[in-house]
Amino acid sequence: MSFDISHPDVQRAVADALAEDIRTGDITTQATIATGLQAEGRFVAREDMTLAGVELLTLLYDNPVLKMTSGTGVRAGQEIAVVRGSARLLLTRERVALNFLQRLSGVATLAARFVHAVAGTGVRILDTRKTTPGLRVLEKMAAAAGGVVNHRMGLWDAVLIKNNHIRLAGGVRAAVERARPLGKPIEVEVRTRAEIDLALDCGAGRLLLDNMSPQQAAEEIRFIARRAEVEISGGVTLANVRAYAEAGPDFISSGSITHSATAVDINCGIYEI
């Protein structure tokens, strides 16, 4: 899975990251490195990971050599990419490049672990909107590189009626009826059998079982009996996702894939050529 580097949000994120880090110039590099010096930078994995975001190097350097693409499983010690050019440019953009690669590969690596944990169950893992402000598109691309299915990108592209909507709209039925003219599939968050009954009666296409135990979720899924798709969310971790998957839902979503991913260890050694 390659990153869409033509996406305006991706290009903006890279431009903003460079502006944030460099501003009026890299004073250390300008003071210590000769103007005409040429160099080579080698990006190397220091731990096993699922790679994501390597395509962004084409927005940071001229003609980088990408040894792998996003979604590739990488072993510690493997070379990911090589960049060549002005030593000043390589040094100045090194941290921005690594920040993207380490963060996005961390998301992809955690996503891949979730997918592996439910292998064989037929359950699809979803990401959420719990992303770093300004980096949603990149982090969702990284999650997809790890094998999860992107849930809604934002508030504009899918209907998800949650508890606060239900409370303020005056109930499940009122919220569903008001959303129906949008012509989009309707998902409703439910926490009790009564709410499940009502959402099904209103014609919700997907039910979100929120903050239930695996045993409780399994019981409700048997009751739903394929009358709607079922998503499980709330309190899902790597340690318990398999138990939730065995309850029989169609989907499981976890915000931790993006909000709690740990950056992986990637090194960039820069050498004179």
Catalytic residue among 42, 130, 152, 227: 130
Q: What angle do CA 143, 144, 145 make, to 5 degrees?
A: 90
In the structure, what pLDDT confidence band is assigned to residue 76 with cuts at 50, 70 and 90? very high
pLDDT above 90 for 142: yes
pLDDT of residue 233: 97
In the structure, what pLDDT confidence band is assigned to residue 131 with cuts at 50, 70 and 90? very high
Q: Indicate the pairing of strand 206-210 with strand 251-253.
A: unpaired
Please indicate whether residue 206 is annotated as part of the active site: no
pLDDT of residue 1: 57
pLDDT above 70 for 138: yes
* Sheet strands (E) in the chain: 38-45, 49-50, 65-66, 73-74, 79-86, 124-126, 159-161, 186-190, 206-210, 229-233, 251-253, 266-272
**Residues contacting residue 131 through CB under 8 Å, at least 6 positions apart:** 139, 140, 258, 259
Phi, psi of 227 (to 5 degrees): -75, -15
pLDDT of residue 3: 87
- DSSP-derived 3-state class of residue 172: helix
| Mean pLDDT for the chain overall | 97
74's tokens: 């990488």
Q: What percent of the chain has pLDDT over 90?
A: 99
Catalytic residue among 95, 152, 173, 191: 95
* Mean pLDDT in residue range 224-248: 97
- In this structure, the number of other CB atoms found within 10 A of the CB of residue 250 comes to 17
pLDDT above 90 for 145: yes
* Mean pLDDT in residue range 44-61: 98
Please indicate whether residue 189 is annotated as part of the active site: yes
* Mean pLDDT in residue range 125-140: 97
pTM: 0.95
Helices 193-201 & 172-179 angle (0-180, nearest 10):
30
Please indicate whether residue 157 is annotated as part of the active site: no
47's tokens: 């731990």
* Mean pLDDT in residue range 202-209: 96
| 80 contacts 74 by C-beta, under 8 angstroms | yes
* Mean pLDDT in residue range 255-273: 97
* Mean pLDDT in residue range 66-81: 98
Catalytic residue among 26, 187, 189, 220: 189
Q: What percent of the chain has pLDDT over 70?
A: 99
d(CA 245, CA 113): 14
Please indicate whether residue 130 is annotated as part of the active site: yes
d(CA 108, CA 146): 4
Show the domains of the chain with their CATH numbers: 8-115+261-272 (3.90.1170.20), 120-259 (3.20.20.70)
Catalytic residue among 9, 21, 40, 210: 210
Q: Which of 54, 71, 42, 48 is nearest to 270 (CA)?
A: 42
Q: Which of 44, 46, 57 is nearest to 17 (CA)?
A: 57
| 59 contacts 14 by C-beta, under 8 angstroms | yes
152's tokens: 């809604």
Catalytic residue among 162, 178, 180, 193: 162
In the structure, what pLDDT confidence band is assigned to residue 167 with cuts at 50, 70 and 90? very high
Spell out a b/e string for 96-128, using b for 16 or more CB atoms within 10 Å of the CB, else e. bbbebbbbbbbbbbbbbbbbebbeebebbbbbb
Please indicate whether residue 47 is annotated as part of the active site: no
